[in-house]
Amino acid sequence: MSHPARRFLLSFTAVGALLALILGLGVASPPRAEAAPFRVLVFSKVTNFAHDSIPAGIEAVEKLGRENGFEVEATEDAAAFTDTNLARFQAIVFNNTNSTPEKGDLLDAGQRAALQKFVRSGGGWVGLHAASASERDWGWYEGLVGAIFDKHPAVQTGRVKVLDRAHPSTEGLPELWERTEEWYNWRTNPTGKVHTLAQIKVRDGITGLDEGVDHPWSWCQNYDGGRSWFTAGGHDKSAFQEEDFLQHVLGGIQWAAGNKPGDCTATKTGSFQRTALATNDLADPFELAVAPDRRVFFIQRTGKLKVIDQTTLKVSTALDFAYTPEMTSQSDGLLGLALDPGFEKNRWLYLLHSDKTEKRLNLSRFTVSGTGGGTTVDPASEKRLLTIPTLRGEGRANSHMAGSIAFDTSGSLYVATGDNTDPFASDGFTPIDEREGRRAWDAQGTSGNTNDLRGKVLRITPRDDGTYTVPAGNLFAPGTEKTRPEIYAMGMRNPFRITTDLRSGALMVADYGPDARQAKADRGPEGTVEYTRITKAGNFGWPYCIGDNTPFNDYDFATKTSGGKFDCGSLVNDSPNNTGLRELPPARPASVWYAYSASPEFPEVGTGGGGPMSGPVYDYDEANPYPTKFPEYFEGKWFTYELTRQWFKTFSVQEKDQTFTDPRFAPARAGDLQSINPVFGDMKWNQPFDADFGPDGAMYVIDFGLGSGTGRGGSNDGAGIYRIDYVADAAARRQGDRESGQRSRAADRGVLQRRVRAAGR
């Protein structure tokens, strides 16, 4: 046994002799010190490559113990792995242990059984770096670690994306953690099997990584009755001198020992449960909102405002605009829904709906009566705040109506409107047809027009009397010639879903793009869609620029000839259909953009159609008593989803400015995108269409169903309204652990049988 000064493995004989000596001499026992909150065993045996950071790791954990009130014993001797000895500890740290079957395992069969019993009895395990390169033929151990080391590229500098800002091992770390590391590839990527705390930022250009965009670096899990925490850091001894890395390890030890709480299931597959609230007789379900009493209000484009009583699951109709099939044959109808921030007292809700007579959209407030299944809305309670003229009946201009509405915490109401332009005669590029009689084919008269409310996100503040004021900070000050003061963001094509971040006040927009299947040098880029986080008023470029301010070419539809590319920084709207300013504000780029083909900037979004949808930003409330609310891990994360690619993802946004020492890394600014990660990966969707959090901290989702909607009052096959609860995969975990235990025990028996046969030969 090496490191004898650090072992502190005193025998009961020695303790008994010392106690007898004290009593025999009549010396009073010293006052008993307070018991340490827990005891940790640091195990550092290697049979393969020995990292020179092992002594530094031992010293670091001992120092952490002294400073944080827990006891530490250290050994390289596997004889410490007995049931009796391990029962004295709350956590075991595998400190850069390393082994191969060819050179010998760390533990024999009895010692392995003791480790299993320790974990199954609720013990904690902590792995540092090469702990993942140990016991490679032991299936149970691979499950305990989470992943086994495969290979590593050369040591180089990169960054780690710290995804979990709540776990004690990562809560205080930099959001982007710059490190010079020996980066590990895994035999099997553990994403979804464990809870990922931090990922490698693969796009930093670290060569030799092969796990894809979801490359975990640190994680934790509840495993086989115990707790497991792992970090791939700790290759170099200098890591154990870094304050951030020491805090990282400390939090991992404290959590594994049960000394500090922390959720380790938030990103594991199976952690969420989807419950159907309504699946019958849904005709184009469009947008939803959840009342403080958990009633779910949702609208159908065909004209009905419906209410789900979650106690009885009864679905009732509170209001019906009774649109005709002709009215909803394109994109007209009941389009937007929001509850007033004071709904619990004033009972007001807001609807964006097509006028049945005039060519316009109406933004109206209504008053709700009744409760539960008896909820009704009196049409006579309508207070019309705003009207938006449209080009209904001219070409297919009404194919883009957008319609989403949302409040922020200051009481301002945002209203998304589409460009109301026929997109089908521009070859999938920008519709800027300036010919006589073609105004319905020219988005310069709508999105690019500072004096028009279409192709915009409007921002107003409703008043109690049913009127509104314009808040300060919109794009154009009231009274500015040839502008509308309601405009907050212009240059939108079809901002189909908007949400607001209740924490920061930011506006989150998903904007649909044009349909060109490939770029053309003299026309413009491949069809591109956008997610944009907006913190101040601006112009976002359509119909001149898109994505990362990629310009289209000017185009003469009469002669079918292309002109030069638009200047996104100095846009001029000289269309005869423009009634607003000629010189426009400079275009601003999207936060995330992608086309049909693979995105080099954002490979996480995949390939396929383009149907971006902006979901909510989670605002965690510790005092919320709902038992299956989403966990704190998701605090501040922007939930997005894709209609055509059928996924949900979280966008993590940089909270603070950061600078880096490596000149390759540009400064990160607050509000920048930090990470894109999958969520609900085990759930299948037809067309996820709307999503929002309720006051209970659960998420509510509309699945639009199959096809493009009937528009004629019939049912959308496969449509549904769902609630998603965080269930921490308790049942699945128990079953999975039982199955894992059965598989690993069978694998262990196979290993022993092979060894016996080999010994016999």
List, for residues 157-202, the tens digit of each pLDDT value.
Answer: 999 999 999 999 999 999 999 999 999 999 999 999 999 999 999 9
Residue burial 714-741, b: 16+ Cβ < 10 Å; e: rest: eebeebbbbbbbbbbbeebbeebbeebb
Residue range 726-754: average pLDDT? 46
Structural domain contains residue 648: no
Predicted confidence band of residue 732 (pLDDT cuts 50, 70, 90): very low
Query: With 80 as the cut, is the pLDDT of residue 603 above it?
Result: yes
Query: With 60 as the cut, is the pLDDT of residue 614 above it?
Result: yes
Structural domain contains residue 449: yes
Quick one: 468 and 513 in the same domain? yes
User: What is the CATH classification number for the domain harbouring 607?
Assistant: 2.120.10.30
Residue among 300, 297, 277 nearest 713 (CA): 300
Quick one: 241 and 337 in the same domain? no
Side chain identity at 66, as an amino acid letter? R
Query: With 80 as the cut, is the pLDDT of residue 472 above it?
Result: yes
Predicted confidence band of residue 699 (pLDDT cuts 50, 70, 90): very high
Residue burial 132-162, b: 16+ Cβ < 10 Å; e: rest: bbbbbbbbbbbbbbbbbbbebeeebbbbbbb
Please write down the long-range contacts of 561-569, taking CB distance under 8 Å and 24 or more positions apart: 562/522, 562/523, 568/541, 568/544
Better-predicted residue by pLDDT, 659 or 20: 659
Out of 32-46, 87-101, 153-167, 413-427, least confident range: 32-46
Query: With 50 as the cut, is the pLDDT of residue 758 above it?
Result: no
User: What is the CATH classification number for the domain harbouring 217?
Assistant: 3.40.50.880
Could you tell me the CA-to-CA distances from 642 to 43, 192, 220, 606, 689 in Å, in that order? 47, 20, 29, 11, 8
* pLDDT score, position 192: 96
* pLDDT score, position 756: 33
Going by C-beta distance under 8 Å and a sequence separation of 6 or more, which residues neighbour residue 268? Answer: 192, 193, 194, 195, 221, 729, 733
Helix or strand or coil: residue 692?
strand
Structural domain contains residue 160: yes
Query: With 70 as the cut, is the pLDDT of residue 709 above it?
Result: no
* pLDDT score, position 484: 98
Residue range 287-293: average pLDDT? 98
Query: With 60 as the cut, is the pLDDT of residue 284 above it?
Result: yes
Predicted confidence band of residue 341 (pLDDT cuts 50, 70, 90): very high
Residue range 371-388: average pLDDT? 95
Query: With 80 as the cut, is the pLDDT of residue 43 above it?
Result: yes
Structural domain contains residue 660: no
Quick one: 403 and 454 in the same domain? yes
Quick one: 419 and 339 in the same domain? yes
* pLDDT score, position 712: 40
Residue 464 contacts residue 371 (beta carbons within 8 Å):
no
Indicate the angle between helix axes 730-760 and 109-120, nearest 10 degrees: 170
| Angstrom distance (rounded) from CA 454 to CA 490 | 8
The residue segments making up the domain with residue 746 are: 4-10+35-269+734-760
Predicted confidence band of residue 393 (pLDDT cuts 50, 70, 90): confident
Residue among 189, 196, 192, 234 nearest 210 (CA): 189
Interior CA angle at 379 toward 375 and 381, to 5°? 90
Quick one: 257 and 303 in the same domain? no
Structural domain contains residue 642: no
Quick one: 377 and 419 in the same domain? yes
Structural domain contains residue 636: no
* pLDDT score, position 130: 98
Residue 447 contacts residue 457 (beta carbons within 8 Å):
no
pLDDT tens digit string along 401-440? 899 999 999 999 999 999 999 999 999 999 999 999 999 9
* pLDDT score, position 757: 37
Quick one: 226 and 343 in the same domain? no
DSSP 327: T
**For all residues of the chain together, what is the average pLDDT?**
91
- Domain total of the chain: 2
Pairing of strands 487-490, 538-539: parallel
Quick one: 484 and 506 in the same domain? yes
Structural domain contains residue 656: no
pLDDT tens digit string along 299-335? 999 999 999 999 999 999 999 999 998 888 888 999 9
Quick one: 142 and 169 in the same domain? yes
* pLDDT score, position 25: 30
Quick one: 233 and 380 in the same domain? no
* pLDDT score, position 36: 65
As given in the structure block, the two tokens for residue 34 are 């307070």
Residue range 133-141: average pLDDT? 97
Better-predicted residue by pLDDT, 21 or 529: 529
Residue 207 contacts residue 156 (beta carbons within 8 Å):
yes
Sheet architecture: strand order including 71-75: 71-75, 39-43, 91-95, 124-128, 226-231, 216-223, 195-200, 156-162, 176-181
Quick one: 250 and 297 in the same domain? no
Quick one: 231 and 313 in the same domain? no
Residue 721 contacts residue 288 (beta carbons within 8 Å):
yes
Structural domain contains residue 445: yes
